[in-house]
Chain A
Amino acid sequence: MSALTQSTPAAASTEAAPEKELRPPSYWPFVVPALVVVLAIIIFPWVFTIWMSLNEWKVGSPTTFVGFSNYLRLTSDPRFLEAVGHTLVYTVLSVVLPLILGTLSAVVFHQNFAGRGFLRGVFIMPMMATPVAIALVWTMMFHPQLGVLNYLLSLVGIPAQLWVFHPATVIPSLVLVETWQWTPLVMLIVLGGLAAIPTEPYESAQIDGASFWQVFRFITLPLIMPFLFIAGMIRMIDAVKSFDIIFAITQGGPGSASETINIYLYSVAFTYYDLGYGSAIAVVFFLLIVLLAAVMLYARQRMLWTEIASGA
C-alpha cells in the first residue's frame, strides 16, 4: 500500500503549526476556488432543499409557503412508510453479508500467493464497473426461463426461482447484486487492517498450539474490529442510498415491493414533479442516515465499554 494510507494528521499538524503562526492568512487563496464551488453545488442545494421542503412546490404551478405540512404528510404516507421498511431490510442485509464475506476474503488475500496483485485487481472489478451495465447483465441472469441463475440452481436440484420478478424474493435478489458488488470494498478495508496487525500474538498462539479458528476468533477479530466498524459504516451509508442497481433492475417493482426511500424520492421529485414534498423526503432521508450512523457509533461505544468491563 502506498504512503496515502499511512498519513498521520497529527504529525502533519505539529509541523504546520509554527508555519501557520508565521503567516496565517496566506494559504487561503488556495482554498477559495474550491470554497466557491462547494458553496454553489453542495451548500446552496442544501439550504435551498430545506427552504423548498417548507413550500408547496410543483413544477408549473405557483409556490406557496406551507410550513411543516410536507413533513406531516410524510407521517401518514403509506408508500413512504413502506419504503422506509424496505430500505431498512435492504440496508441491514447489504451491510451484514458483505462484512462477513469481505472479512473472509481479506483473510485469504492476506496470505502470500502468486498473482496476488492481479487477482486483487480482478476481485475489485465488480465495485468499479459501471453499475447500470452490470445491472443489465444481472437482469438477464435473473430471467426466470432463460436466466443462467435458474440453470445453475437446477444443477444442484433447487427449483427455479422468480428472483426480482416476485415481491417475496426481489429484495434478497437485489441484495445479492449489492453484496457481489461491494464485498470487495470491505475486503480492501479489512485487508488494510490485517496488514497493520503485529506478528507477535500469532507467534505465541502458534507456540501455545491454538487452532486456526481460535486464532481468528481471539486474535484477528478483536484487532480488526476498528476496521470492520469503518467498513460497516461506509457500507451502511452506501446501502441506504443505493439507487442505480435497484432503479435499473426493478425500478422499485414488482408493484412497490423493492421501492426504497431513494427510489420513492426519485418518483416524487422527477415523475410527479412534486418538488416540495420531494425535498421534505430528502431532508428526512438525510436525517435517517445520520441517525443510523449515530446508532452504529453508540453500539460501538457500548461494545468497547463492555470489553473493558469484562476484561477488568
Chain B
Amino acid sequence: MTPRQIIGKIGLWLSVLVIVSPAILFFLWMLSLSLKFEVDNAAYPPVFFPDHIAWKNYADVLASNRFLTYFINSLVVTGSATVLALMVGVPAGYGIARMAAHKSAIVILIARITPGLSYLIPLFLLFQWLGLLGTLVPQIIIHLVVTVPIVIWIMIGYFETTPMELEEAALIDGAGRWQVFRHVALPIAKPGIAVAFILAVIFSWNNFVFGIVLAGRETRTLPVAVYNMISFDQLSWGPLAAAALIVTFPVLLLTVLAQRQIVAGLTAGAVKGG
C-alpha cells in the first residue's frame, strides 16, 4: 500500500466512525441509563459505566403484572393486523401486478400522504357506535391502515419481477387462476412476502398515535404503555429507560438480523414514490 492509500483508508474509517456513532452512542446511552440506579442516573457529570448494575430495573418492569397484559396486547394487535394484511394484500398485489393496473396504486399513495389522525376521527366515531371501544378490535382494524398499504405496495413490486412463463404453462395445462396463484406464484413470492411481513410488523409494533386515542387502560399496546409511564407512574429514569428498551428491543433485533430485507423493502417503496 502506498502512503496515499493508507491515508485514504484511515480517512474512510474515520468517516464511518463519525456517521455511525450517533446511532451507536445513543443506544449505548439508553442501555447505560437502563442499567443504573437512581444515584448514578442523577449524578453530574454523568456516569457512563456504573459500579453497580441495576438489573432490578428490568426485573421491576417485567414483574409488574400490567406489563404482561400490554405485551400480549401488542402481540395480538400487531400479529392480527399483519396476518390480515397479508391475507388480503398478497392476492391484491398479485392481481394488480397481473392486470397491470398501476393507477390503482394512487390509492396507496393517497393513504401514504394522509395524516394518521384523519383516519382516527371517523373511525373513532364508528367504533363508538358499534360499541367496540374497550376491546382490541378497533386497534387491530385501524392498524390495517398501516399494514395493508405496505403489503400491497411491496407485493405489486415483487410480483412484477417474478417470471410469467411458469404461470402461463400452468394455465395452458388447465390449472385455474387460483391454483396458479396458490401453487406457482405464491411459492416464488416468498422472499417478497418476508419483506412485506417484516416491515408491516415493525411499523405496526411502533405505532403510537392510534393507541393513545383508542386504547383504554386494559387495551394499551406497549408504546402507549411506555408513554403513560412517563406521564403518570414513573419518574425515575432507570426503570423508564429499561421499559423503553424492552419495547423497542424486538424491532432493533429484527433490524440487525433482517437488514437486507428491510433495506430492499424500504428502497423499493421509496424509489417507486411511496
Using a CB–CB cutoff of 8 Å, the interface residues on chain A facing chain B are 1-9, 11-13, 15-17, 19-20, 26-31, 33-38, 41-46, 48-49, 52, 104-105, 108-109, 111, 113, 117-126, 128-134, 136-137, 139-141, 145-146, 148, 151, 180, 184-185, 188-189, 191-192, 227, 230-231, 233-234, 237, 241, 243-244, 247-248, 262, 265-266, 269-270, 275, 278-279, 282-283, 285-286, 289-290, 293
Task: Indicate with 1 or 0, residue by residue over B150-172, a CB within 8 angstroms of chain A CB atoms.
Answer: 00101001101100100010000
Q: Are A27 and B160 in contact (CB under 8 A)?
A: no
| CB neighbours of B181 from chain A (8 A) | 30
Which of A34, A227, A230, A244 is packed against the most chain B CB atoms within 10 Å?
Answer: A34
* A142 CA / B272 CA spacing, docked (Å): 37
Instruction: Count chain B CB atoms within 10 A of each CB in A6, A35, A43, A270 and give the residue with the most.
Output: A270
Q: Given that A4-B158, A20-B100 are contacting pairs, would A230 and B29 also be in contact in the complex, using a CB cutoff of 8 Å? A: no
Contact indicator B264/A1 (Cβ below 8 Å): yes
Is B256 among interface residues, defined by CB-CB distance under 8 A?
yes
CB–CB A34/B148 < 8 A: yes
Give the complex CA separation of A188 and B102 in angstroms.
25
- For the A-B complex, the count of residue pairs with Cβ-Cβ distances under 8 Å equals 320
Give the interface segment out of B19-27, B50-58, B63-71.
B19-27
Among B206, B248, B256, chain A packs the most CB atoms within 10 A around the CB of B248
Interface contact B26-A180, CB-CB below 8 Å: yes
Contact B247 A30 (CB under 8 A): no
Q: Which A residues touch B30, using CB under 8 A? A: 134, 137
Contacting pair B209 A243 (CB below 8 A): yes
Closest B residue, CB atoms, query A102: B19
Say what secondary structure dominates the interface of chain B.
Answer: helix
Q: List 28 A-B contacts (CB under 8 A).
A: A5-B264, A7-B272, A12-B161, A19-B168, A27-B98, A30-B91, A30-B92, A33-B87, A41-B142, A45-B119, A121-B256, A123-B20, A124-B263, A125-B23, A125-B252, A128-B251, A128-B254, A131-B223, A133-B226, A133-B244, A134-B26, A136-B240, A140-B33, A188-B270, A191-B267, A231-B270, A243-B116, A285-B115
**Number of B positions contacting A (CB below 8 A):** 113
CA distance in complex: A37, B237 (Å): 42
- Other-chain contact of A286, B23, B118, B227 (Cβ < 8 Å): B118
A7 contact set on B, CB distance < 8 A: 157-158, 160-161, 268, 272
A148 to chain B, nearest CB (A): 5
Q: How far is the CB of B234 from chain A (nearest CB, A)?
A: 10
B78-120 to A contact mask, C-beta < 8 Å, 1/0: 0000001001110110111111111010010011111111111
| Contact of B208 with A by CB under 8 A | yes
Which chain B residues lie closer than 8 Å to A188 at the CB level? 263, 266-267, 270
A80 to chain B minimum Cβ distance, whole angstroms, is 14
Beta-carbon nearest neighbor of B257 in chain A: A121
- Given contact pairs A3-B161, A41-B144, A132 touches B271 in the complex (Cβ within 8 A): no
How far in angstroms is the closest Cβ of chain A from B250?
9
| A-side contacts of B270, CB under 8 Å | 185, 188-189, 192, 230-231, 234
CB distance from A279 to the nearest CB of B (A): 6
CB pair B116–A241 under 8 Å, yes or no, is yes
- Cβ–Cβ contact A37 & B144, under 8 A: yes
Complex Cα spacing A169 to B254, Å: 35
Task: Report yes or no: B117 in contact with A266, Cβ–Cβ below 8 A.
Answer: yes
Which of B160, B255, B261 interacts with A9 by CB under 8 Å? B160
For A279, the chain B residues whose CB sits under 8 A away are 118, 121-122
Are B118 and A45 closer than 8 Å at their CB atoms? yes
Q: Is the CB of A42 within 8 A of B16?
A: no
